[in-house]
Structure 1
Amino acid sequence: MRLFLQWTIIIPTLAWILFFSGLVHDSSIFQVVASVLLILSVMSAVHHSEIIAHRVGEPYGTIILAIAITVIEVSIIISLMISGGKEAVSLARDTVYSATMLILNGIVGLCLFIGGLKHHEQKFSKHSVIIALVSLISIVVFTLVVPTFTKSAQGSYYSSPQLMFASVACLVIYGCFLFAQTSRHRNYFLTTEIKEDHPSLQVNNRVLVLSLVFLLISLGIVVLLAKTLSPTIESIITSYHLPLTLVGVIIAAIILLPESIAAIIAARSNKLQVSLNLSLGSALASIGLTIPSVALVCFIYDMEIILGLDIKSIILLGLSVFTVMLSLSSGRTNIVYGVVLLVNLFAFIFLIIYP
């Protein structure tokens, strides 16, 4: 463990040094190196999140990872909004929508598929899923659907009072979800699997603090490198005459990699409850924290922000939520549900390429 822990400390540190040296901006060779370091930093983040989860227990471990990634994602969105640009008005909507579709169809779909492939059928607490999905549906409708049909402002905008109400609603719902997950109904979110003893994994307070610090360091460099490499990704996409919207999807996928890997590892280990805690909790955190933060920036800088989706996107989002609800309604899952969700994900990407 000591060697691996040292490795997961050295790699993010080297990535930060490379990033601030400026070499990643000037040389294609160093951009390749930066891409490798990005993937290794993702692995480092997953490792540190597993140590934290082992130390603090569930569901606190998954909450820490989900909120840490969301906070860094929000900071990047806000920095891009303040810097300006035509895309800034729809940046939060596109990022939240892409992240939600990737989580519901991609992460949950892969977990159900891989878990079903190895274990045939997996069990989980349907009460925890109902709490998460009820909260998620309400937040999604308030933030991404209702603005398309309001009349106070022309277009897919909220008026200032409406945006304030939606922000407060997000915080209230997400806060109540966290209260249920960590206190009132914490037993719903606990895994029923037999815990294996890992004598080699002795997590004391010193290791816990170190992992917390390097989890944030790893996540930070993942986001910064993804943002830095986005022009390269954009040039590759434009060279193949593909829509630029794919850039946002790819960047969102890179940011979600730590959560994705952690959730898939848990599903493969027959701990589907942990996977669902992480994936659905991440979707809630992504919207519940992003929209209020973005709304605050809009009030401070007197900016307008597009939140409402078009009809096609609303239909795809509704299909995804409805499919996840049906797939997780019985407390048991199998490979078929995973395949259907992955097909929904491919349809989302396909319709971006061929709108």
Structure 2
Amino acid sequence: MITRLRSLTTQWTFLMPVIAAVLLIFTWGRDLPGPVVGLVALVLAGSVLAAVHHAEVIAHRVGEPFGSLVLAIAVTVIEVALIVTLMADGGDKSATLARDTVFAAVMITCNGIVGLCLLVASLRHGTAVFNPEGTGAALATVATLATLSLVLPTFTTSKPGPEFSTVQLTFAALSSLILYGLFVTTQTARHRDYFLPITRQGEVITADGHAPPPSVRTAWTSLGLLGLALVGVVGLAKGVSPTIESGVAAAGLNQAVVGVIIALLVLLPETIAAVRAARRDRVQTSLNLALGSAMASIGLTIPAVALASVWMSGPLILGLGPTHMLLLALTVVVSSLTVVPGRATPLQGGVHLVLFAAYLELAVNP
């Protein structure tokens, strides 16, 4: 019976990315009627679950922190491609698209995912335990990247408005790539043990121990299906975006809500994977996913849009407004206080979730 259930799970997670890709081909760039939107939403949800399954297969094969790194980079690369595509099609209307998407990713990961995982782990296991050295390094990198890319443009004077000049944008792009490369090297090579889950006695967990790792062939198959599922997730999310825009406009909400909803959909695979890890008391894996996604979002998006701005007309507004800068500063301070002890209670998880709720509330009522 167990073997039969595993076989059905394998077949389902294999078919769903293929179905999503086929549906994406037939719906890309078209106005979708209501029933088709409902079908797209169902396939989108199935693709998210399939992506999480294949990411966990890869993580089991390669181990931490490589598994969480694979999912973070895969999601971000596809997200960046979507941003550049929308910027190319949107003209002046897309001037703030990169800024809004990156900031939404930072708020969702650093407050939404982190808060939810800390709350789940601490309620289930008493306290959430993680490695402060690795988590602190990741947080410092995220804070630096966010400040250089999203805060400084508001205060520079080389160009009017919250924009970088060409030289400043080039510096920000190169700095983002260098910092992200240094972090990945630190995470996967020189200080890999800083990013591995730990026991409540502070000992590093080097193996899961629940089951033998999958074969190389299975891991490569899951990697391909993970990429296909993520393409389906992002592409189908873009396909339902006109319906979301219509609903937001009909409700009289701010247009920025559309970007928040799309970002939530795109980051859903990482959210589910992070919460699952937190339930297994692997909070470090959850934090690797959350902060790694925030870092990849900035470190890959800013260089990509800087390169794309060479041939695209129109302004590229990266600077945040005062309200969002205040939220970012508060997030960095609260996250630092959360990370320092190396363990968290439901209180810390609740604080991060309240910050995330404040971001959502201000997106609806700026």
TM-score by length of 2: 0.94
Match of 1:82 in 2: 88
Offset at residue 297 of structure 1 (A): 0.7
Aligned AA (1:252): A
Q: Map residues 123-134 of structure 1 onto 2, 5 A cutoff.
A: 123-134=129-140
Offset at residue 122 of structure 1 (A): 2.1
User: 1:34 is matched with which residue: 31, 35, 40?
Assistant: 40
Q: Please state whether the residue corresponding to 2:309 is helix, strand or coil.
A: helix
User: 2:19 is matched with which residue: 6, 14, 24?
Assistant: 14
Q: Please state whether the residue corresponding to 1:299 is helix, strand or coil.
A: coil
Q: Please state whether the residue corresponding to 1:151 is helix, strand or coil.
A: coil
Asked whether the 8 Å contact 2:60–2:213 carries over to 1, the reply is no
Aligned counterparts of 1:202 and 1:141: Cα–Cα separation in 2:
40
Aligned counterparts of 1:242 and 1:250: Cα–Cα separation in 2:
12
Match of 1:219 in 2: 230
1:285-309 per-residue CA deviation (whole Å, 9 max, x = no partner) reads 0000100111011123355310100
Aligned AA (1:295): A
Offset at residue 191 of structure 1 (A): 1.4
User: 2:58 is matched with which residue: 44, 52, 69?
Assistant: 52
Aligned counterparts of 1:351 and 1:217: Cα–Cα separation in 2:
34
Per mean C-alpha deviation after superposition, the further-off stretch among 251-260 and 129-138 is: 129-138
Asked whether the 8 Å contact 1:25–1:31 carries over to 2, the reply is no
Offset at residue 165 of structure 1 (A): 0.5
Match of 2:364 in 1: 353
Q: Map residues 161-200 of structure 1 onto 2, 5 A cutoff.
A: 161-193=167-199, 195-199=207-211
Match of 1:154 in 2: 160
Match of 1:101 in 2: 107
User: What RMSD, in angstroms, separates the aligned Cα atoms of the two structures?
Assistant: 1.4
Q: Which runs of 5+ in 1 are unaligned?
A: none
Q: Map residues 300-319 of structure 1 onto 2, 5 A cutoff.
A: 300-301=311-312, 303-319=314-330
The number of equivalent residue pairs is 354
Q: Please state whether the residue corresponding to 1:10 is helix, strand or coil.
A: helix
Match of 2:97 in 1: 91
Aligned AA (1:243): N
TM-score by length of 1: 0.96
User: 1:323 is matched with which residue: 326, 334, 339?
Assistant: 334
Offset at residue 274 of structure 1 (A): 0.4
Offset at residue 352 of structure 1 (A): 1.8
Per mean C-alpha deviation after superposition, the further-off stretch among 297-306 and 11-20 is: 297-306
1:54-90 per-residue CA deviation (whole Å, 9 max, x = no partner) reads 0001110011000000000000001111113332111
Q: Which runs of 5+ in 2 are unaligned?
A: 1-5, 200-204
Match of 1:72 in 2: 78
Asked whether the 8 Å contact 2:65–2:195 carries over to 1, the reply is yes
User: 1:334 is matched with which residue: 315, 328, 345?
Assistant: 345
Change in CA separation of 1:27 and 1:302 when aligned onto 2, cut-off 3 Å: closer
Per mean C-alpha deviation after superposition, the further-off stretch among 148-157 and 321-330 is: 321-330
